[in-house]
Amino acid sequence: METYQPSGALTGSVLDGRYRVDALIATGGMSGVYRGLDLRLDRPVACKIMDSRYAGDEHFLTRFQREARAVARLKDPGLVAVYDQGPGTPAGQPPYLVMELVEGGTLRELLRERGPMPPHAVAAVLRPVLSGLAAAHRAGLVHRDIKPENVLISDDGDVKIADFGLVRALAEAKITSTSVILGTAAYLSPEQVATGETDARGDVYAVGILVFELLTGRTPFTGDSPLAVAYQRMDRDVPPPSTAIGGVPRQFDDLVAIATARDPAQRFADAGEMAQELEVVVRELGLPGFRVPAPRNSALHQSASTVDGTGGTGSTTGIDGTAGVVAAPRHTKVFTRDELPPQEFDDDGYRPATGTFAGIELDEFYWARQRAKRVLLFWVVAVITLAALAAAGAWTLGANLPNLL
């Protein structure tokens, strides 16, 4: 069960005499995220505070500062802005990042509330995600940990990627080694599992897994441990999303197949190339525009009520007001290859999907798309018919012009 925690160990403290740490929003394998306030500018911020064990690692701190500077230079609506960073002290304050506070929630929380998405909603999520990744890839940066927890959705419908640079800082600080895998098992590319190394095509693979999950409500591989999940992609292709849920267009099956090819050379070269293919798919299917809704019952919303003194009960609540048990979040972790069990893994069936999104049957979205196609076909036929009649009239007039004269 994932529960909202109204306070954390650092709640009430002030970082570098400037950033007040308020309610705890979420915790991960290496850090905690808090709602905060920039006391100098009177601006709400998000404070990502690393585990205190990293405060004394000079190699990590050097890499951490370098990555923060590189990410802060990136400008794209699909990226969470980085405002500041602090190195921490060996005996006291841990390293931290100060970022834009995106009032809303995570894509993971939205999936829990609403279930699988129809194609046009998936496209609406992917556009800003791929745009933000493309900006980073052009600058030579790789995220390494794309997953629903790191995709934020604002109450205004903006979609942004968070947590750039942290995994790379840990990896290049030699916290990892050839016997260690760093990341989130369900979204790792085969080369990350095999060697720990990756590039922009590793992010593309993770986005492909993300597309599969958005369409079906689950990731393609399962196992008894995170490392078992990670190793399955070494000798298995990601199945087409249409095998897990009905109504997925062939174009999305193809998009996932290319993005998750086991050979990196067969994938899209970077997020920019994948974004171009997504636009082709959107045009072919005639997908309508869509405003991505923020999750209603997000940890961030609950943290706001705690700061305002209006809530914070320590439990999750469903949309209908009833208490609910939710699956544990997937954290960025360090896995040792020795954890890999020797047994073979069965090809699990898929959990039944809800068949709805935002309370609307997925079949409704399918028939809406079919109606849009029929309307387009009608106008194409009408234009061709009018053009043919005009041409026939002009030919008849030209043939009889001497008689008329």
| Residue 92: DSSP 8-state | S
If one compares 332 and 74, the residue with the highest pLDDT of the two is 74
Across the range 163-185, mean pLDDT stands at 58
Going by CATH, does the domain composed of 105-317+324-360 fall within 1.10.132.20?
A: no
Task: For residue 295, give both structure tokens.
Answer: 């999750």
Per-residue pLDDT at 349 exceeds 60: no
Quote the percentage of the chain above a pLDDT of 90.
43
Instruction: Give the separation between CA 402 and CA 29, rounded to whole angstroms.
Output: 88
Query: Which residues are part of the catalytic machinery?
Result: 145
pLDDT digits (tens, 9 = 90+) for 261-283: 999 999 999 999 999 999 999 99
Q: What is the pLDDT of residue 111?
A: 95
pLDDT category at 389 given cuts 50, 70, 90 is: confident
Across the range 121-136, mean pLDDT stands at 97
Per-residue pLDDT at 177 exceeds 70: no
Average pLDDT value for the chain: 79
Per-residue pLDDT at 383 exceeds 80: yes
Q: What is the pLDDT of residue 314?
A: 39
- What crossing angle do the helices spanning 119-138 and 271-285 adopt, rounded to 10°? 160
- Is the distance from CB of 114 to CB of 93 less than 8 angstroms? no
pLDDT digits (tens, 9 = 90+) for 224-264: 877 778 888 888 999 999 999 999 999 999 999 999 999 99
Task: For residue 296, give both structure tokens.
Answer: 């209603």
Per-residue pLDDT at 362 exceeds 60: no
